Structure 1
Amino acid sequence: MNSAIGWIDFDEKERDRAQRLMDLFREQDSRDELGLGAIRDSIADHLFPGTSTIQTRLRYMLFIPWILRSLPSNLGVREMATRARQKEIELVRALIAGAPKDVGIIGRDAGDKLKRLPSSVYWSGLESWGIRCFPGSIDAYFAALPNWPKDAAKDHAEDDLGGAPRGRSLWHERLPDPPAGWPEDIDFELKPDEASFLLDRLVERHPNSLLTYLACRHDRAAADAIWLHPHLADFPAQARRVVDHARVFSGVMHGASLLYNLLLSELRAKEDWIEKYQSALAQWSDEFDSKALVSWSLDDFWHETRHTGHQVLEPAKRFVTDWVSLIRKEGGISRNRDAANALIIAREKRLKKGQSRFANTSARDRWQGASGIERFQFRWPIARSYLKDLKR
């Protein structure tokens, strides 16, 4: 029993991680063509832990526990997974019937054919916020549920479920009960006790994060980027430093992403694409804060943004360092376009190898004209949505 649960847990965790990466690559503006994802996510997890770009509304943090907690424990693993999926599809239908249009319903268009269920989208965040106490993947949850200790003793003795402490709850003990009418009559409006519970989890698990700071202050600023927040000067010192690093990093590396798209457009000889990216690069050059880059310390950046959950490899650091040095020296890319081109091409070839669009004609021909063209936002749009949900 011990080894079986352990194997399922490891395998499903890796598969879930791979699925999250695949979802990001399917989103045109989130593709990580230059291998900067670990840096981006390190910053995002410092500022807005437990979030992801494919999350939508905060109340899913409660919908998922309510669904999974209601499953009978006497079912087989496969039957339990089927029952859970059925309940999540029913949730989609209930939300479509009860919530306003275009408010973040996962599966609104896919319906019964939905592949990425809300439980998968929010599974990692539920653990990060301390709402989910079970430590494994969702398939491991199904496998463990029939034999999970039902006693309430908290003696932390080890049972035979892969080292799980006897009496440990699957979910936080103060998880609110579903409201009257659940699950047929439901929307995204948080009840006061639900909002308090979620805020308490943030304070308990991530007391120093910017998301917690803003949530405790009932912030719902409409800033387009976190560094444009009207109360930036009031942020805690550490959060303010990370935001400032995020601003400079996002700005300088945005030029690299635009140049990548321009180079491919030129190879494809698509005049409209070329004109689009030439214009975007000119605008980037005009708006870029070169003074901030001159005084920006990369050593401080790596120190402030390192995160235990993400490993930033040396090649990624070298690419960022070389790109920053080039922009500092030349004041942009127009003065030494050849050197800038060489950095982008070498980086993409290193990452993609035989599938590099600069070396593989078939891969280049499949390119649709845009990859990772938006500035890094570090999940601020999701955090902003959550803050609005809490404020309501």
Structure 2
Amino acid sequence: MSSDSSWSSKREDDPTTTGPPPMVSQLAWLDHDEQQRRRVMRVIDQFRDEGTIDELGLGSIRDTFAGLLLPGLSTLHTRARYMLFIPWLVKASAAEAQTSAKLAPLLRKMEYALIDSLLAGGETQGVIGGTARNKLQRLPSGMFWSATAHYGLRLHRKSISSTLRLAFDARRFNSRSDASDDPGARLDGALDGFDPRLPEAPPALLESATFTLSPHEAAYLRERICTTQDSSLFPWLFELGVDEDAPFLWDHVGLSSLAGPLVETVDHGRRFSIAMHGATILYNLLLARAKSDDERIDTYSGSWDDWEAEIGSKDILGPWDLEAFWRLVHHNNPRVAPTTVTFVNTWLSEVSASRAGAASASAQNLIRTREIQLKGHRARLGTNVAGVNSWLGQSGSQLSYNWPVAVRILRDIIDGCEN
């Protein structure tokens, strides 16, 4: 990508990108510690969508199964081509910036320009910042950065700022080497941190773009995902295709063809998701009662009855080898807190011992105690009246391990391969 590339330089003086820097620049202290950055961003993510908040502290187990089955995905991910957009814009920023101080502002301008370009290209679904435009606080680069390393589009785990500087220095080194009369100086160009096989950015990317992947781009993403995550569900899903009618991955029409260790992993994830969904329903029911919201009391009472029927009809608890479940969880995530293990085991015991009908007093007390254990004085089911009054009607949902995200991303790639 040349330094005089027209599709990126045209935004340099765009007045719509002036004003205070977005939140991502205020978190610049995270640049030197990618692991810490991801931890903080996960905390921020919890406040993005009330339906995905981890009210009962099940996130560590949820993330363990998401990492085993559909690794690298986030609820923030919308469309697959963002995994290419971000490297393209980083490389373009490094190519155009005159000094290292201009790298981050230039990348930010290009990301704002990408929003307008996608809208100009006719895209309406999955455009990050389609409404906020240049007021967008958290930019796509922050949302997809981890995925580009997870799937091997990046060759290191450096932060965005560090990669910008690496690509900037590599560009300068390679430019000097190209101009050198010394043949030895041109033997090995400096690397910018990205996979050398990364597809080239299309012309006029920041003028009119779409989410449609070219066959080459789609094949590249499929190969990268399957190669780097060969023990996940991805190779199997690319082979069989995604089942867009399946609300959860274990409802996939072709699940019977799955073989190997993932069969047991999917089964453990399915049982845990369904069993713990009852705890989320009861939490919402208790909040509805605390708020005297008759409509939602009826809604969650009905959901509780449906959940109890599902637990029985699918025999979720009877044949479940919990020792094997915990071995799998602890082997892949030894940081799961003992209090979380105790809560889950106590809940499962309550469910096993309960009879059909209203939740027992001990089950209700378990949910209250768990929230207080996690949140202290901020617990809604404790003494936080303001928290109850501000409740919007739903907190948490059944664990899907990012299945809806996988359907969107894989659908884009499969469609691109078939173009």
TM-score w.r.t. length of structure 1: 0.87
The equivalent residue for 1:315 is 339
Q: Distance in 1 between matches of 2:341 and 2:356?
A: 20
Greater Cα radius of gyration, structure 1 or 2: 2
Spell out the pairing of 1:1-392 with structure 2 (5 A cutoff): 9-11=31-33, 13-72=35-94, 75-101=98-124, 103-148=125-170, 150=173, 167-289=190-312, 291-306=315-330, 308=332, 311-331=335-355, 334=358, 337-357=360-380, 358-372=382-396, 374-392=397-415
| Cα 1:361–1:136 shift into 2, 3 Å | same
SS at match of 1:325: helix
Q: Distance in 2 between matches of 1:332 and 1:170?
A: 58
Q: Distance in 1 between matches of 2:32 and 2:143?
A: 18
Q: Distance in 2 between matches of 1:100 and 1:93?
A: 10
Equivalent residues of 1:220, 1:391 under 8 A apart: no
List runs of 5+ in structure 1 lacking aligned partners: 1-6, 153-165
Q: CA deviation at 1:57?
A: 0.5
Equivalent residues of 1:13, 1:137 under 8 A apart: no
The answer to which of 211-220 and 28-37 deviates more is 211-220
Q: CA deviation at 1:194?
A: 0.7
Q: CA deviation at 1:354?
A: 1.9
Q: CA deviation at 1:39?
A: 0.7
Q: Which amino acid aligns with 2:138?
A: R
Q: Which amino acid aligns with 2:83?
A: M
Q: Which amino acid aligns with 2:157?
A: P
Q: Distance in 2 between matches of 1:353 and 1:256?
A: 19
SS at match of 1:368: coil
Q: Which amino acid aligns with 1:134?
A: H
SS at match of 2:54: coil
Q: Distance in 2 between matches of 1:328 and 1:313?
A: 23
Q: CA deviation at 1:123?
A: 0.6
Q: Which amino acid aligns with 1:263?
A: L
TM-score w.r.t. length of structure 2: 0.82
Q: Distance in 2 between matches of 1:302 and 1:76?
A: 52
Equivalent residues of 1:221, 1:230 under 8 A apart: no
Q: CA RMSD in A?
A: 2.5
Q: Distance in 2 between matches of 1:371 and 1:148?
A: 47
Q: Distance in 1 between matches of 2:100 and 2:126?
A: 30
List runs of 5+ in structure 2 lacking aligned partners: 1-28, 176-188
- For residues 143-190 of structure 1, the C-alpha deviation after alignment (integer angstroms, 9 at most, x for no partner) is 4444459479xxxxxxxxxxxxx9554101100001243232311111
The equivalent residue for 2:23 is none
| Cα 1:319–1:77 shift into 2, 3 Å | farther
| Cα 1:271–1:113 shift into 2, 3 Å | same
Q: Which amino acid aligns with 2:316?
A: A
